[in-house]
Amino acid sequence: MNDDLIKMRQATAQVLASQKRLENKYKAAEQADADWYRRAQLALQKGEEDLAREALKRRKSYAENASSLKAQLDQQKSVVENLVSNTRLLESKIAEAKQKKDTLKARAQSAKTATKVSEMLGNVNTSGALSAFEKMEEKVMTMESQAEALGQLGADDLEGKFAMLETTSVDDDLAQMRKELRANSLRAEPQPANQVAPSETQRLRRS
């Protein structure tokens, strides 16, 4: 398709060059037609009728040539327009084909990648992998439970030690009760009225 486009561009360039040459010839023929017409007028003004007639004959020849070139030029323009239109159409089709090719190439690459991934997943032992993960999870949960139990035991042991320090023994409670009973008994016994403290009796005897 690219070769066809190159050929069409070359053909269009050749036709355009031919058209340019026809345009130049047509312009030259028209210019000669106008020049010989002015010469015929000049000769007639000077009274040179024969010379004016010859100038008009020459002018007619150039006019006929210009008319023929004009017809060829119009035909050439139509050919050029068709070539340019077809060339642009071919360029559009080539661009569209290239875009489709790139799209299909990308899709093929994606499909190839997806196929490889599917094959890799198909070769994986899913049940074995899941079993291994379950065993690993069970092991981790066991380790976490053991750590939690050890932490709880450590906390209970520490609290027990403080409880032993804060709790009084039965012997201590019994001794405290005896002490309180003796104190209450002494306060309850009556004191004799004539009883004098030993220190006072000794003082009277000395006097």
Domain that holds residue 157: 136-187
**116 and 140 share a domain?**
no
Prediction pTM value: 0.43
In a domain, 130, yes or no: no
102 shares its domain with 11: yes
User: What pLDDT does residue 168 have?
Assistant: 56
How many angstroms separate the CA atoms of 179 and 202, rounded?
Answer: 32
Question: 41 pLDDT band (50/70/90 cuts)?
Answer: very high
In a domain, 72, yes or no: yes
200 within some domain = no
Q: What angle do CA 58, 61, 67 make, to 5 degrees?
A: 140
Q: Which amino acid is at 141?
A: M
DSSP per position, the chain: -HHHHHHHHHHHHHHHHHHHHHHHHHHHHHHHHHHHHHHHHHHHHTT-HHHHHHHHHHHHHHHHHHHHHHHHHHHHHHHHHHHHHHHHHHHHHHHHHHHHHHHHHHHHHHHHHHHHHHHHHHHS-HHHHHHHHHHHHHHHHHHHHHHHHHHHHHHHHHHHHHHHHHSPPHHHHHHHHHHHHHHHHHHHSPPPSS---HHHHHHHHH-
Highest mean pLDDT among 37-41, 80-84, 140-144: 37-41
Interatomic CA distance for residues 113 and 108, integer angstroms: 9
Top pLDDT among 12 and 130 is at 12
Given a cut of 60, whether residue 124 has pLDDT beyond it is no
154-158: average pLDDT: 58
What pLDDT score was predicted for residue 59? Answer: 94
Asked whether residue 201 is domain-assigned, the answer is: no
| Residue predicted with more confidence, 140 or 151 | 140
* Residues 10 and 86 placed together within one structural domain of the fold: yes
Q: What is the tens place of the pLDDT at every residue in 67-112? A: 999 999 988 888 888 888 888 888 888 888 888 888 888 888 888 8
| Same domain for 9 and 48 | yes
Same domain, 13 and 90: yes
Q: pLDDT tier at 196 (50, 70, 90 boundaries)?
A: very low
Residue 67 lies in a domain: yes
Residue 82 falls within a domain, yes or no? Answer: yes
Residue 199 within a domain? no
How many structural domains comprise the chain? 2
Tell whether 119 and 140 lie within a shared domain.
no
Tell me the pLDDT band of 174, cut-offs 50, 70 and 90: confident
Residue position matching structure tokens 């939690």: 148
